[in-house]
């Protein structure tokens, strides 16, 4: 029973992370295609990493 419980929690964390993360990827992809700038690309990479870290933490906290 515990194995099913932990598997379900991990599945929920992964699903929530990727469902919300695809919007972050799409936003910065379209932003970088619209305004092509090397500085914007570098800033977008850093912001994306920070957002993904918060999103992973959020996904874990919501699923538990």
| Residues 6 or more apart whose Cβ sits within 8 Å of residue 41 | 32
Integer CA distances (angstroms), 20 to 3, 13, 14, 42, in order: 26, 11, 10, 22
The arithmetic mean of pLDDT across residues 50-54, rounded, is 96
Per-residue pLDDT at 61 exceeds 90:
yes
The arithmetic mean of pLDDT across residues 23-41, rounded, is 94
Per-residue pLDDT at 13: 95
Torsion 14-63-27-42 (CA) sign: negative
**Cα distance between residue 47 and residue 49, in whole Å:** 5
């Amino acid at each position: 029973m515990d194995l099913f419980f932990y598997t379900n929690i991990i599945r929920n964390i992964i699903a929530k992370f990727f469902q919300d993360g695809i919007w972050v990827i799409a936003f910065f992809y379209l932003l970088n295609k619209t305004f092509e700038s090397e500085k914007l690309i570098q800033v977008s990479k850093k912001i994306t990493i920070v957002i993904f870290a918060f999103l992973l933490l959020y996904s874990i906290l919501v699923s538990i």
